Amino acid sequence: MKYANEIKRRRSFAIISHPDAGKTTLTEKLLLFGGAIQIAGAVKSNKIKKHATSDFMEIERQRGISVATSVMTFEYNGILINLLDTPGHKDFAEDTYRTLTAVDSVILVIDSVNGVEEQTRRLMEVCRMRDTPVIVFINKMDRDGKNRFELLEEVEKELNIHLHPMTWPINSGKDFKGVYDLHNKSLVLFTPNTKASDEDVVQIKDLNEPLLDTKIGESDAAMLREDVELVDGVHGELNVDDYLRGKVAPVFFGSAVNNFGVKEMLDTFIRIAPLPQSRETSVRELDVNEDRFSGFIFKIHANLDPKHRDRIAFLRVCSGKFERNKYYHHVRLDKDVRFSNPYSFMARQKDVIEEAYPGDVVGLFDTGNFKIGDTLTEGENLFFTGIPVFSPELFKEVVNKDPMKTKQLEKGLMQLTDEGVAQLFTQFGGNKKIIGCVGELQFEVIQYRLLQEYGASAEFKALPYFKACWITSNDAKKLEDFTRFKTNNIAADKDGHVVYLAQSEWFLNTERQNNPDIEFHFTSEVHK
């Protein structure tokens, strides 16, 4: 329990959303509250780099997406907050899924005009798998959005989570007047483009006070009274335990670009968000309060500048104290390693750090020793479980264009897939190498990097598969027979787990029906 005080003052979370819902804007406002940046626009300008440092960066710039997930640390009311950024672009969804294993809670941003969108659904599925506590921020209330009750119903139904409104909006679009804070019993009035902390807040403990009519007009006051009676009647006080178990999500309404409703959410966040949590490992549950250090790698970010070929591995500290220059046990490689320049992050700036505690994320320079899911400890042999691998959606065969560079190609494929850029499968029988990704963009990235970094030239030939299913069975003989009969559709992932490559949903369903003793899974885990 040596580090209880450090643990108590930390919160690590990620903001997730469908692209364009307002994640970057909200991030920026939170950083302004934390004093981590001084001017609006600072985060935005990082999103698309002005000077491309390589051709690949040019691809990134042109597509206007941020490949990197960086970590931003700031302090608010004495609480040290680690905000892990996640790429919004769908082609990089796997990166986001893995980042979700490194946080203790999330804030989900929903655009009040568009409601639940494709990425929102998928991201929430990952949160539900881990029962991650979620706070919902309904953004863009300054635009004519969906009816507030219908929107909440849609979110509850589509995302399969109970919602608990913490603030309640008064109109939307050009008639948006603000929100009533149900927890603090105060009226927060909306004026566009307010700066941090100068919101117009009026205490109205009893909504029957005539002051309410004076402030927002009689008809809106009447509607608010009716709405709040309905909402309060259904929800009452937030049960924080239900939130912490991932059963109920508190909801805030606001407008990130106008910095409205953000402070209410941040204040609630630091009041209720979970501290760094204990975690399951391959051998036992690891208590976050243990004195001995442990942590795992959840992301590897390659440096795309050809002059500096190093990579940065992102380590989440799970217990104990991480110290610079101290030897730690790299469990998979069974060797001791130390780091002379571990980094902490503040957007694009990096600072060397001396120590880090549970909940913190440390950037470690890597020359190829790490892969996703690797664990560092003070000697114990364990792996953190629950780091998900999802079935890719696009599959292509690797075609070697330069037989003289076969070794380089193999090395490149191994290292790039260790980073989690894509998944590598080897077909049974034919020994074909198959790359699986969630988006077309990754194939471009891989092709570019194989050539630039390994001197290997490869092309990709599209394959007609729609999913890779990890197959298991209690009956070893049945599994063996199935893999033998279906050789052409069977492959092994990098860890030797067997997958069935399905051409279509119809084929998959047919195989499921014909082989009731075999289970087909769309997800796997790095360490089972």
The binding site for ligand G4P (CB under 6 A) comprises: 17, 19-25, 44, 88, 139-140, 142-143, 255-258
Measured from the CB atom, the residue of 21 and 435 that comes closer to ligand G4P is 21
Measured from the CB atom, the residue of 91 and 142 that comes closer to ligand G4P is 142
Least Å from the CB of residue 186 to ligand G4P: 21
Least Å from the CB of residue 226 to ligand G4P: 26
Least Å from the CB of residue 445 to ligand G4P: 20
Measured from the CB atom, the residue of 173 and 455 that comes closer to ligand G4P is 173
Burial of 168 by CB count in 10 Å (0-12 exposed, 13-18 middle, 19+ buried)? buried
- DSSP 8-state code for residue 278: P
Measured from the CB atom, the residue of 260 and 390 that comes closer to ligand G4P is 260
Q: Where are the alpha helices (DSSP H) in 406-470?
A: 406-418, 440-454
Least Å from the CB of residue 89 to ligand G4P: 9
Measured from the CB atom, the residue of 139 and 415 that comes closer to ligand G4P is 139
Q: Identify each DSSP E strand in 176-293 by its residue range.
A: 178-181, 186-189, 200-203, 248-253, 279-280, 285-286
CB 313 within 8 A of CB 375: no
Sign of the CA dihedral running 369, 373, 378, 380: negative
CB 135 within 8 A of CB 269: yes
What b/e sequence results for 348-372 when a residue is b if at least 16 CB atoms lie within 10 Å of its CB, and e otherwise? eebeebebbbbbbbbbbebeebbbb
Task: Write out the two tokens for 142.
Answer: 């300054």
Interior angle at CA 391, CA 387 and CA 397, nearest 5: 125
Measured from the CB atom, the residue of 40 and 129 that comes closer to ligand G4P is 40
Measured from the CB atom, the residue of 190 and 500 that comes closer to ligand G4P is 190
Measured from the CB atom, the residue of 258 and 417 that comes closer to ligand G4P is 258
Measured CA to CA, the distance from residue 350 to residue 522 in angstroms comes to: 37
Task: Write out the two tokens for 232.
Answer: 């309060």
CB 361 within 8 A of CB 82: yes
Token pair 């390693």 is at which residue?
A: 337
DSSP string across 361-402: EEEEEESS---TT-EEESS----B---EEE--SEEEEEEES-
Least Å from the CB of residue 418 to ligand G4P: 29
Least Å from the CB of residue 113 to ligand G4P: 9
Q: Rounded to 5 degrees, what are φ and ψ at 411?
A: -60, -45
Sign of the CA dihedral running 286, 290, 292, 298: positive
Measured from the CB atom, the residue of 93 and 256 that comes closer to ligand G4P is 256
